[in-house]
Structures are given as C-alpha cells and as structure tokens.
C-alpha cells in the first residue's frame, strides 16, 4: 500500500473530518491520522441506558457566523442539519426558585467568555446531532484511515514538510499536511528552528482552560424546563458557576442532563482541583433540584484539557504555519471561536485556501434518511 499521499490530515475531530472528507471526494489520495481507536474527536456518541447523546453539551447560538458555518457542513453532507431556531431564556436558581438568568453582574467568573457563548437568547435546534455529523463525514470519507496513530514529528526539508513520523517509528509521506489537533502540540511536532520564538512563546503560555463535564442519566424526569441553566453557589469562590441543561424527555422514568465548568489549565493537573469542581457542580445542581442526583442510573465525567484559550497564533493568509509552506492548520483552536463554529469555520478556510471553496453545494435534503 502506498504511503505517498496527496494530503495527510492529522486529527479526525470535526475539523479534520470536514477537510479529509472533502479532499477525498475530489479524487485526492488522502490519509487521516488519528491517535485514538475511532474517528470523531470530541464529537462522538455516548450511550446511556435509555438514550444516545452527544459527548457533553453541544449547543450553538444562532448567530450569523454559526449559521454560516453550519451551512458549510450542510453543503458537505448534502443534508439539512438545522431544524429550527429556538428562542430561549437561560435560567438560574436564586432565592429558592428558578428565575431568568440576567447575567453575572459585578462578579463575572474568570471564564465568563467561555460560559457566555452558551447563554444566548437563540439556539439552533438540530435535525442531526453533532455526533451524527462526524459519523457521516467518516462514513463518506474515501481515503485511508490510520487509527491509534499519533503524529509525533514533522520532518521538514527546504521549508516544506516531507513526512510525518507516526508513533515514533513509522513514516508517512505526502505533498501537503493539515494539522487538526490541539495547537500546543505544534511545540513537539515542529522542529524548534522552524517555529519562531514569538510563536513558541504564545503556544507555551499557560492560558488555556480545561473543561470539566459531567453527564447524568436520572432515574426520573426531573423537569420539563429545557432552558440552559447557569447555577452559582451561595459563596463566591474560585471554582465559579456551572452551566448545563436537562435534555427533553417524554419518559417519566428517565432524563439526561449535561453540565460543564472550567478550570485553569495550570491548576487542572491537580486532581483535587478537578474533584472540587465536580463536587461543587453537584452541590449547585442539588440546590436547584434536590431529588435530581438520587438513584442515578449513570454518571459520566469528562475532563478536556486545552479546551479553549486566548492563544491567538498568527497564520499566513492561506492558513499555513509561517515559514512552512505546505503545513495548513485546520484545528478549531486556530479560529477566533474555540467551539463548534470555530472547528467548522477553520475547516472551511483551509479548504478554500486549498482550492476547494465550492464544497458540494447541492440543495440539502429536507428529510435526511440516516438509516
Ligand atoms: C464536553 C464538551 C462540550 C462541548 N460543548 C460544546 C457546545 O455546547 N458548543 C460548542 O460550540 N462547542 C462545544 N464544545 C467544543 C467543540 O466540541 C470543539 O471545539 C470542537 O468539536 C473541536 O473540534 P476539533 O476538530 O477542532 O478538535 P477535536 O474534536 O478535539 O479533535 C482533534 C482530534 O485530533 C486527534 N489528535 C490530536 N493530536 C493528535 C496527534 N498528534 N496525532 C494524531 N491525532 C491527534 C485527537 O485524538 C482528536 O480526535 C464542547 C467540547 C467538549 C469537550
């Protein structure tokens, strides 16, 4: 089997899959390299006893940039993904009752910007959940998938990447490389002399947030209120509020709820800090819904380091890394918005730079048959 590809995409999260899928539709010889067993990155399906859900919250405010980024995906998949735009009012628990959430007032948490994204007054209601996006993109990908393959080093010759080292031993060659993993990894992947010192400093800085998520499968329906909840404790502490929501349920005996908070990456290595933030989330949920955490069917914790941060790295206009002409950065973290919108938008920018701007713009089907 040939190991000389037209494109090697590193990372099979949402952005890597959009890029690899589209390139492979155009008869390019594409390799998709993924460190885990399966494709999908953080957008994957989680099976609970009575339902299948996203790996944590997957909300998107119905902004212009969000709708544009989803339209790009609809064109890639030729499917209608947006069902409707929901007018919604985030809520909080205060003075013993659920009330409209009106903002953080004078004491915003340090991760205010991370939370604010989720508290929009309009949210997109999906025809197709985000875990289905990655599943379909992967199913339709026509190139070669390399699971359990960690890209460990770019080998650079004449200002171009010639090959990547995988798992420290195997070499894969290509004309073009598209990196879609966390930006911090570039410090290890790119030989030092090809990363200018300013870029290195920005990547090395500890200014990322770690996302701490907790999903519950409750043994009864807790509430019909599907609004986003912003729950704060009674005391101000450095752990701050959590945010989440109860998923709609038609069954009296089950309901899923999903919650997140953020911890400074520099402190997140300390398991006690993570444990304290989980404990606090539970306390906040229990205050608002005293029965919610009794007889839980399942409880699932996720810790996602380098979730977002203020590290802006300056790419060339064509989204390549300065000084390396065939290394494109497709990672959602390279975009201003470090979320689903950023992952889709960065993929779109890279594809446009590679000359694939008109990503399969057939009219999306109205009733996708996903069977
Ligand atoms: C719990 C949780 C809840 C979230 N909720 C929301 C939400 O409600 N709304 C929203 O907009 N966003 C949300 N997000 C963020 C959003 O899901 C991400 O920003 C987006 O999916 C990132 O996509 P990506 O493709 O850039 O990265 P990822 O999904 O992280 O994919 C990167 C992939 O690269 C692989 N990889 C990394 N390094 C290497 C390497 N060296 N070699 C090979 N493979 C490698 C990884 O294994 C991974 O599969 C949430 C994220 C989490 C974790």
**pLDDT tens for each residue of 185-235:** 999 999 998 988 888 888 887 678 899 999 999 999 999 999 999 998 666
Ligand 1 atom 45, closest CA: 11
Question: Would the CB of 326 count as within 6 Å of ligand 1?
Answer: no
**Each residue's pLDDT tens digit, 265-297:** 888 889 999 999 999 999 999 999 999 999 999
Q: Which of 83-87, 191-195, 208-212, 357-361 has the highest mean pLDDT?
A: 83-87
pLDDT (tens digit per residue) in 117-160 = 999 999 999 999 999 999 999 999 999 999 999 999 999 999 99
Q: Where are the domains of the chain?
A: 1-80+127-205+311-371, 82-126+206-310
Ligand 1 centroid – CA 49 distance (Å): 25
pLDDT of residue 225: 94
The model's pTM is 0.93
Edge-to-edge strand ranges of the sheet holding 97-100: 97-100, 91-94, 229-231, 242-246, 255-264, 208-218, 298-309
Q: What is the pLDDT of residue 371?
A: 29
User: 1-80+127-205+311-371 — its CATH code?
Assistant: 3.50.50.60
CA-wise closest residue to 30 among 17, 41, 43, 40 = 17
Does an H or E element contain 55, and which? none
How far, in Å, from the CA of 336 to the mean position of ligand 1?
15
Residue 206 DSSP code: S
Q: Is 56 in the pocket of ligand 1 (CB under 6 A)?
A: yes
Cα of 218 vs centre of ligand 1, distance in Å, is 26
Give me the chain's average pLDDT, please: 90
C-beta separation of 366 from 77 below 8 A: no
**Binning pLDDT at 50, 70 and 90, where does residue 370 land?**
very low
The fold for domain 82-126+206-310 equals Polyamine Oxidase; Chain A, domain 2 (3.90.660)
211 Cβ closer than 6 Å to some ligand 1 atom:
yes
Strands (E), the chain: 4-10, 30-33, 45-48, 51-54, 82-87, 91-94, 97-100, 122-126, 144-146, 151-157, 160-166, 170-179, 208-218, 229-231, 242-246, 255-264, 298-309, 327-329
User: What's the CA-to-centroid distance between 96 and ligand 1, angstroms?
Assistant: 36
- Ligand 1 atom with minimal separation from the 330 CA: 26
Task: Give the C-alpha distances (Å, rounded to integers) separating 164 from 5, 64, 143, 157.
Answer: 11, 37, 17, 12
| pLDDT for the residue numbered 109 | 86
Confidence of residue 236 (pLDDT cuts 50, 70, 90): low
Confidence band, pLDDT 50/70/90 cuts, at residue 319: very high
Which of the residue ranges 2-6, 236-240, 249-253, 339-343 would you say has the lowest mean pLDDT?
236-240
Q: Is 86 helix (H, G, I), strand (E, B) or coil?
A: strand
Same fold, 1-80+127-205+311-371 and 82-126+206-310: no
Residue 331 near ligand 1, beta carbon < 6 Å:
yes
Cβ–ligand 1 distance for 11 under 6 Å, the answer yes
From 255, 341, 339, select the one nearest 42 (Cα to Cα): 339
How confident is the model over 29-82, as pLDDT tens digits?
999 999 999 999 999 999 998 889 999 999 999 999 999 999 999 999 999 999
Q: Is the CB of 43 under 6 A from ligand 1?
A: yes
Instruction: Provide the pLDDT for residue 105.
Output: 83
Q: What is the per-residue pLDDT for 253? A: 86
Query: Does ligand 1 come within 6 angstroms of the Cβ of 241?
Result: no
- For residue 361, is pLDDT > 60? no
Instruction: Give the pLDDT score at 358.
Output: 56
Beta carbon of 119 within 6 Å of any ligand 1 atom: no
User: Above 70 in pLDDT, residue 311?
Assistant: no
Identify the three-state secondary structure at position 283.
Answer: helix
Instruction: Please state, in angstroms and rounded to a whole number, the distance separating the CA atoms of residues 344 and 339.
Output: 9
Query: Which has the minimum average pLDDT: 101-115, 186-200, 229-243, 244-258?
Result: 229-243
Ligand 1 mean position, distance from CA 100 (Å):
31
Which of 10-19, 31-40, 103-112, 352-361 is predicted least confidently?
A: 352-361
Is the CB of residue 130 below 6 angstroms from any atom belonging to ligand 1?
Answer: no
- From atom 35 of ligand 1, which residue's Cα is the shortest distance away? 11
Ligand 1 pocket member 232 (CB < 6 A): no
Q: How far is the CA of 1 from the centre of ligand 1 (A)?
A: 30
Is any atom of ligand 1 closer than 6 Å to the C-beta of 345? no
Cβ 109 under 6 angstroms from ligand 1: no
Determine if ligand 1 sits within 6 Å of the CB of residue 340: yes
pLDDT of residue 207: 73
Largest CA distance in the chain: 66
Kindly state if the Cβ of 16 falls inside 6 Å of ligand 1: yes
- Cβ atoms 324, 224 nearer than 8 A: no
Question: Would you say residue 250 has pLDDT above 90?
Answer: no
pLDDT tier for residue 366 given thresholds of 50, 70 and 90: very low
Alpha carbon of 251 to ligand 1 centroid (Å): 31
Contact (CB, 8 A) for 315 and 334: yes
- For the chain, give the percent of residues with pLDDT over 70: 91
pLDDT at 238 over 90: no
């Amino acid at each position: 089997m040939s190991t000389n590809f037209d494109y090697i995409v590193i990372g099979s999260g949402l952005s890597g899959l959009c890029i690899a899928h589209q390139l492979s539709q155009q008869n390019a010889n594409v390799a998709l390299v993924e460190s885990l067993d399966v494709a999908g990155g953080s957008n994957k399906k989680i099976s609970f006893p009575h339902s299948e859900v996203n790996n944590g919250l997957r909300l998107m405010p119905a902004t212009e940039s969000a709708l544009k980024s989803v339209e790009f995906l609809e064109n890639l998949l030729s499917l209608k993904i947006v069902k409707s735009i929901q007018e919604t009012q985030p809520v909080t628990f205060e003075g013993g009752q659920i009330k409209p959430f009106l903002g953080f007032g004078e004491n915003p948490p340090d991760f205010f910007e991370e939370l604010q994204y989720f508290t929009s007054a309009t949210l997109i209601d999906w025809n197709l959940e985000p875990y289905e996006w990655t599943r379909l993109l992967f199913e339709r990908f026509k190139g070669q998938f390399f699971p359990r393959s960690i890209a460990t080093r770019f080998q650079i010759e004449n200002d171009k990447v010639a090959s990547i080292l995988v798992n420290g031993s195997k070499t894969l060659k290509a004309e073009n490389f598209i990196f879609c993993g966390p930006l911090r990894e570039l410090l290890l992947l790119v030989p030092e002399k090809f990363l200018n010192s300013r870029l290195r400093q920005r990547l090395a800085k500890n200014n990322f947030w770690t996302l701490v998520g907790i999903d519950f499968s409750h043994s009864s329906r807790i509430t019909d209120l599907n609004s986003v909840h912003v729950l704060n404790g009674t005391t101000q502490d450095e752990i701050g509020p959590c945010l989440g929501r109860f998923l709609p349920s038609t069954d009296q005996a089950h309901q899923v709820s999903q919650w997140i908070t953020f911890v400074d990456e520099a402190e997140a290595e300390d398991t006690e800090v993570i444990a304290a933030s989980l404990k606090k989330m539970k306390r906040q949920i229990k205050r608002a819904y005293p029965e919610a955490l009794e007889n839980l069917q399942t409880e699932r914790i996720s810790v996602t380091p380098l979730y977002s941060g203020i590290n802006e790295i300056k790419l060339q206009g064509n989204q390549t890394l300065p000084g390396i002409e065939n290394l494109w950065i497709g990672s959602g973290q390279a975009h201003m918005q470090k979320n689903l919108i950023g992952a889709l938008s960065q993929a779109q920018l890279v594809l446009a730079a590679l000359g694939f701007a008109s990503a399969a713009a057939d009219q999306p089907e109205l009733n996708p048959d996903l069977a």
